[in-house]
Copies of this chain bind each other. A is one copy, B any other.
Amino acid sequence: GTKEEKEYEIAQRKLQFRKPEKIWNTVLFFENGVTTDPELASLKTFVHYLDSARATIQLCLYRMSHWTLGDVLLKKFNKRRGLLIQIITDYDVFTSIDKGTTRLFRKCFDEGMSLKVRRSKSHMHHKFAIIDGEAVLTGSLNWTEQAFTGNHEDVLVTTNPLHVDKYMQRFRTLWRNSQDP
C-alpha cells in the first residue's frame, strides 16, 4: 500500500553506507551441510548476509521453514526500530502444503512483519532476498533445513544495479498483485 511504500522510500534514503564490493559479489555453495571444505559456505555465512541488513529486507520465498533464519529475522525486527521486513510467499505452500513454512511465516506476521501470499498456476518458486535495496541473494536454495544440510545448492550474491533494480521492480509488482494472508 501507499503507507508501506512511503516507509520503504524513507528507509532507502537513510542508507549512508555501501556494501563492500567483493563480499557482496560472490557465490555461496552448500553441499550436504559440509562446512570444513573452504570452497563451501555454511549456514553461518548465510546468516551473516541477512544479519547485516540495516534498513530493509524483502523476501520472496517459496518455502521458509528454517528456524535459525526465522530467529535471525525476528530478533533483528524486534531490536531495530524502523527495519522494514516484507515477505511474499506461495499461496498453496502457506495455506496447505508446508506446515513448517506456515508456522514460521505466521509468527513473523504476528510479530508485525509485512506478509503477502501470491497465487500461481503451480508454484511461486522464487527464493530471493533483497537487502537494503542494494544487494540480492538468489539461487537454488530454499530456506529449509533439508536444503542447508542435505542438498547441493548455490546462492549468488550481487550488488550490480542491473540485477538489483530488476529484482526491486519485480518485487513491487509481485507485492501489488499478492493478497493478505
* Chain A interface (Cβ < 8 Å from any Cβ of B): 22, 25-27, 29, 31-33, 39, 62, 118, 120-128, 136, 138-141, 146-147, 149-154, 156, 158, 160, 162-163, 166-167, 169-170, 173-174
A55 nearest CB across to chain B (Å): 22
Alpha-carbon gap, A29 to B173, bound state (A):
12
Q: Is the CB of A27 within 8 A of B166?
A: yes
Task: Count copies of this chain in the complex.
Answer: 2
Q: Kindly list chain B residues whose C-beta atoms are within 8 Å of the C-beta of A169.
A: 39
A26 shortest CB reach to chain B, Å? 6
Q: Say whether A154 contacts B140, CB under 8 Å.
A: no
Instruction: Verify B124–A152 contact, CB threshold 8 A.
Output: yes
**Secondary structure type dominating chain A contacts:** mixed
**A166: B residues at CB distance < 8 A:** 26-27, 29
A32 — which chain B residues lie within 8 A by C-beta?
A: 120-122
Are B158 and A29 in contact (CB-based, < 8 A)? no
Interface contact B140-A121, CB-CB below 8 Å: no
Report the separation of the CA atoms of residues A32 and B124 in the bound assembly, to the nearest whole angstrom: 9
Shortest Cβ-Cβ A-B pairs, 6 listed: A122-B150, A121-B150, A27-B166, A125-B151, A124-B152, A32-B121
Per a CB cutoff under 8 Å, which of B25, B120, B149, B163 touches A156?
B163
User: What would 10 more interface pairs be, CB under 8 Å, given A27-B163, A27-B166?
Assistant: A25-B163, A32-B122, A39-B170, A121-B149, A124-B152, A125-B141, A125-B153, A126-B154, A138-B139, A138-B156
